[in-house]
Structure formats: structure tokens, C-alpha cells
Amino acid sequence: MMIIGLLALSLFAQPLWDDASPIPAGLMTHIPVTSGVEASSPPPRSHTDPSNDHDHDHDDCLVESAMKEWHPHPVVVELFTSQGCPMCPDANAFLGTLSDRPDIIAIAYGVDYWDMYGWEDEFSVPDFVARQHDYVERGEAMRVFTPHFVVNGDPHKLKFKPSEILDFIDHQEPLSAEAHIHSGHEGYELILSGPRLSQPAEVWMVTYEESEQWRAIGGGANAGRSTPHFNMARSLIQIGSWDGGEDEFALPEFPQDGHIRGAILVQAERGGRILAAALFPARP
């Protein structure tokens, strides 16, 4: 009886992941296998699209960044991922492809429930796991799983099938409200405008590393692999609530060293749909 009980507990604790289909040709190349603790020589950027010119100069990058910052109705794509999940490296690379689009705010959250299988995820934060649980409670999924894509807070359970995710993104209705972030002498200010709400919405600030990072994984299901990471979240805090209409918020300061960026997500209740979103202006 004790053996049967332990087996049942093991099955119950096993994290879920979805069947993955190959990423469409041109969206990513093979991720080479390396060893060690840190990837000392990262492979070339793996999520490249052959239709893009990769020799952008600095001005081109500034133009693309400005387009993202002021897009009135961006699509917010959130990915819950883990360094211990065997399908997550491909999902991470796919998120990197999405992050190249000026109309998409792409953010990845590290979760910790794969840590029990032999590798502690350096990007996992309890607040990120709580956010995924909020989505699961309001959505179609029965429990947390990775890789877990959420588009505009929609409750639909998306399997990791890039063609279907792209189609789902392209058929999103525009966000119902607008958010603008301005930089002034006294810091950043958020301006929200939209219809009045029957229940207050939550205003969240996310900081993340707007960069590509590679890590050599030394244990768990991905042991021996060098895995890509894109736009990994560093912090998540609720800064207020919004009843609709026009309103202004003074935004808290956050470290802006390296590639750290900030985003505002306005969400209908805990784990609800995204109503508005905006990026902090890029540093000059």
C-alpha cells in the first residue's frame, strides 16, 4: 500500500506539458548541446526570421523601440517557463521571435515547480507562480503546466503549437483602453484612458531583461543543453487599481541598468483579461 501511495503522489506532482509541434521553418534553428555551468560562447541568435535584415544599425533599433513604446493597442504575450522543462527551450526561442514584432509586448516568467527534478531555475520567483495560478483558476487549464502561453490574459488554454499561437495573436481584438507612460523631471507618469468599469482593474508593473541570454543547464530534464532565454521577468508588483475613465499614476522607480525594461499591464481583476498595456520609454 505504501508503494502504491508513493506512486500516486509522484503522478499527482508531475508537472504538465503539452505536445509540441515543430516550429515553422525559418523561425528557429537547432539549439546545440554544450556542457558546463554557464554558456561561455553562446550560439548565434536562434529565433531569426530570414525575411528580416539582421544588420540593423543603431537608428533602426531606436525606431523599432519607439514604435513598441507608443503602440496604442499592443498584444501582450506572457510565457510561463522553466529551465527544467524539456519543451521550454523551444518555447523560449519562439517567444524571442514574437518579441521582435513592434506590436507585441513579450514577457517570460520563470516558475519553480520543476526544481524538484534536479535543477533549480535561477529565474523563478514565487510571485510569478502565483500569477500563473491566477490564470489557471480563471481559465481553461486544470492546473499549472509549462510551456504556458497567455495572450492578452485570455482564458483559452494554448498548446505550444507556434502556428496556432500566431493565429490566435493575429485575431486578437484591440485592447479596450489605452496606456501611455511619460518621463518627467519627477520620474515616470502613467496616463490611462478608457471606458468606465463596473469593477476596478488591477495595475501591474513588470520589470524584465529585454535581452537574449543563454544558460548551460547542469541537471534535470535539460542537463547538458545550452538553452535560450528572452525577456525574463525580474519583478512583478501591483501599483494600484483603476475604475476606468481618465486617470494618472506616479510610477515607482526601478533599476535601469543593463537591459532592464519596465511594462505596465492593466488587468480586469486577478488573472483576468488585459485591458491596456505600455512599455516604459527606452533609455537614450
Q: With respect to residue 102, please indicate whether it lies within any of the assigned structural domains.
A: yes
CATH code of the domain covering residue 265: 3.40.30.10
The H-or-E segment that residue 77 falls in is: strand 75-81
Q: With respect to residue 25, please indicate whether it lies within any of the assigned structural domains.
A: no
Q: With respect to residue 10, please indicate whether it lies within any of the assigned structural domains.
A: no
Q: With respect to residue 218, please indicate whether it lies within any of the assigned structural domains.
A: yes
Q: With respect to residue 245, please indicate whether it lies within any of the assigned structural domains.
A: yes
Q: With respect to residue 5, please indicate whether it lies within any of the assigned structural domains.
A: no
CA dihedral 73, 71, 165, 230 (to 10 degrees): -130
228: left (phi over 0), alpha (psi -120 to 50) or beta: beta
Q: With respect to residue 36, please indicate whether it lies within any of the assigned structural domains.
A: no
Q: pLDDT value at position 281?
A: 85
Q: Which domain holds residue 119?
A: 57-279
Q: pLDDT value at position 282?
A: 72
Residue with cell 514565487: 126
Q: With respect to residue 4, please indicate whether it lies within any of the assigned structural domains.
A: no
pLDDT in tens, 10-61: 443 444 555 443 333 333 333 333 222 222 223 333 333 333 333 333 344 4
What percent of the chain has pLDDT above 70? 74
CA dihedral 39, 94, 79, 109 (to 10 degrees): 20
pLDDT in tens, 174-214: 999 999 999 877 789 999 999 999 999 999 999 999 989 99
**Structural domain total, the chain:** 1
> Which pTM was predicted?
0.78
Pair 74, 104: CB distance under 8 Å? yes
